[in-house]
Chain A
Amino acid sequence: MKKFNIIIYKIIITLLLTTGSLNSAEMTDPIKVDWSFKGITGTFDRASLQRGFQVYKEVCSSCHSMQYLSYRNLGEPGGPEFTEAEVKAIAASFEVTDGPDNQGEMFTRPGRPSDMFVSPHPNKEAAAAANGGAYPPDMSVLVKARKGGANYIYSVLVGYEDPPPGVTLDDGVYYNKYMIGNKIKMPNNLMDGLVEYADGTESTVDQMAKDVTTFLAWAAEPELEERHKTGVKVIIYLVLLTILVYLSMKKIWSRIDSEV
């Protein structure tokens, strides 16, 4: 039995090794951060999520869309958990295009919690055109869409540097050692004191980068806390059931002169 388990795990580990480790071009390995949402019981830091949303709203949302989220998500369990009133106020601070009305005209109205996040640009092409031809990717699942996940996003945000001697960059291209090829077409948006946190936390670049990354990690996996909680219960249940079934198996097989 033990041998069987060891073999299974060996196979799985080998498989994991084969799917990982694909390093290409020049780029530095991302910084490892000890996120609160890591591990099998990981949860999000509520305050960090709220601050992260503030950074997203005040900084990133002028370029990046987040089209798969709605404002109501901000009040749901496992997320930033803003109060109902706060969610309403946040939604109402955005102008939403609706319609057509009974005259066939489109009109704008203040947002409601059920609305999807308003995108800064009408389409991908417009977003790219406004950014010197580089499309700022939609942020709904960005953390899952990059190898390295949250560590990578955080690293990019704090990874801006002056280019080393000998490296010349075109206009609108910046040096960032965590990007593939060390080049990024997004300017460094974060500087100390950029936002004024409602909870009084000091807004250093590092703090903002951590907060907004936490927020993006939640946005990509809003089910994470529920998944972890359910997972622990499911595994405990399965283990107990396995023990019971094992004992019954031993009992049943003891009727004959054979091993299981």
Chain B
Amino acid sequence: MSEHEYVPKSKAAKWFNDRLPLLTLGAHLTDYPTPKNLNYWWTFGGILTFCLITQIVTGIVLAMHYVAHADLAFGSVEHIMRNVNYGWLIRYIHSNGASMFFLAVYIHIFRSLFYGSYKSPREIIWILGLLIYLLMMAAAFLGYVLPWGQMSFWGATVITNLFSAIPLVGESITTWLWGAYSVDNPTLNRFFSLHYLFPFLILGLVVLHIWALHIPGNNNPVGIDIKKPSKDTVPFHPYITIKDAFALLMFMIIFAGFVFFSPNILGHSDNYIPANPLVTPAHIVPEWYLLPFYAILRSVPDKLGGVILMFSAIFILFVLPWLDTSKVRSAVFRPIYRQFFWILVIDVLMLGYVGAMPAEGIYLVLARVGTIYYFLHFIVVLPVVGLLEKTDPIPMSISEPVITGGAEPSLARKLNEKV
């Protein structure tokens, strides 16, 4: 992809690079031509990488002191908080880090929705991203079980019980997942093992995600294909690295605000009560980042139906590139889609809100309306708007003014190539 071949300067470096071209890779990453008009919504990829590394590093330190046993887990977390040097800091970074990770991933996903980053030729990047998101939810759920508080225990019970809705084999699957006849010590042990594993799977997927990204290159706010390298691009380093660093620092300020000044505000107080299989909490609520799905799950009176709908809400995103019929990527040039985009944002926020509320009365009604709208957006709105919408004129290149008429991004590229 790099237009010019990289040749190491020293003989030793050349010797090494001929055998394992790490230096070539480094040069590729440094020179990587990036659209110069990327806005701050594009900094979240770097922020997400930071979040993953943070979780892995703090997690490994926590695992050195944590004890995955039903009788000892809660106490071992308290031991980390009280007796391990800076244990409180490491744990609060890890627990708030999960929330910051999801905040960043949601912004990142909605960025893709707004600028049409999931469209051809970036479908595989999008699908890899969704797989990362799925694994993140699994990892966070598993991690939340580890401190073995009331919400850990009952959250695990509710979620694992979902599998019992599967006809015929459901009960056996649930028992198999538990390794016992209820959520118990064997469950905690395997959850710890998987919680340690998943972040490394995520790391592998992140490498593929970035590899896939470096084939077509970044999308950009204008959403047109650009010639690379050209006057529309800048080398990744130092232009994008410094901008990403600036955005990351601002993100870290918010992160530090949570860690140092309200480290438990995003969690549930019940999780400081040791797990007790005999006492069910009044409201079992998952962490905030899973609430929209929880709302969808509870909006259906039938358990199996709820489970199917909840999983569909995620899986529908996998076929999104083929549901969207518009050739224009960026919502900047799609006046109708743009409005539906914001309605979807509000819809998901509302689902998150009702997910935290008891599933009754007005909340249940809102959950149902929100769920129906969520699916309508993808199944009806996207295909239909794409066909009917009259898009605004699209510029030929990032640095050139708008030419009238061209609504075909691929056209913009063809013209570009001749320049």
Contact = CB atoms under 8 A, between A and B. Distances in A.
Contact of A141 (B78, B234, B246, B352): B78
A137 B273 contact: yes
Contacts of B266: 15-16, 19
A145 interface: yes
Interface stretch (A46-54, A164-172, A225-233): A225-233
A208 to B, nearest CB: 24
B239 interface: yes
Interface stretch (A28-36, A99-107, A185-193, A242-250): A242-250
Given A19-B266, A241-B249, A68 B78 contact: yes
Interface residues of A, number: 55
A129 interface: no
A228 B268 CA distance: 21
B288 A235 contact: no
B325 to A, nearest CB: 29
Contact of A18 (B234, B242, B353): B353
Given A140-B78, A252-B242, A260-B243, A15 B103 contact: yes
Contacts of B203: none
B253 A242 contact: yes
Interface stretch (A1-9, A87-95, A196-204): A1-9
B283 interface: yes
10 contacts: A8-B254, A11-B103, A16-B265, A22-B357, A24-B358, A140-B78, A180-B282, A227-B89, A230-B260, A234-B260
A220 B79 CA distance: 12
Contacts of A230: 89, 260
A239 interface: yes
A12 B254 CA distance: 10
Contacts of B254: 8, 12
A22 to B, nearest CB: 6
Interface in B208-267: 234, 238-239, 242-243, 245-246, 249-250, 252-254, 256-257, 259-261, 263-266
Nearest to B249: A242
A145 B273 contact: yes
A1 B256 CA distance: 20
A138 B75 CA distance: 12
Given A18-B352, A223-B81, A256-B234, A231 B261 contact: yes
B261 A14 contact: no
A230 B238 CA distance: 32
A109 interface: no
Given A19-B356, A68-B82, A231 B260 contact: yes
Interface of A: 1, 4-5, 8, 11-12, 14-19, 21-22, 24-25, 40, 67-69, 73, 137-138, 140-141, 144-147, 149, 180, 220, 222-223, 227-228, 230-232, 234-235, 238-239, 241-242, 245-246, 248-249, 252-253, 256-258, 260
B242 A248 contact: yes
B49 interface: no
Contacts of B265: 16, 19
B288 A19 contact: yes
A18 to B, nearest CB: 5
A235 B242 contact: no
A144 B355 CA distance: 23
Contacts of A232: 260
Contact of B256 (A21, A145, A234): A234
Contacts of B81: 223
Nearest to A246: B246
Given A24-B358, A25-B282, A242-B246, 13 more contacts: A16-B265, A19-B265, A22-B285, A22-B356, A69-B82, A141-B272, A220-B272, A235-B257, A241-B249, A245-B245, A249-B246, A252-B238, A253-B243
A197 B78 CA distance: 31
A241 B358 CA distance: 44
A14 B269 CA distance: 19
B88 interface: yes
Given A5-B250, A18-B291, A235 B272 contact: no
Given A228-B260, A238-B253, A24 B75 contact: no
Contacts of B261: 40, 228, 231
Contacts of A241: 249
B227 to A, nearest CB: 16
Contact of B288 (A15, A147, A238, A248): A15
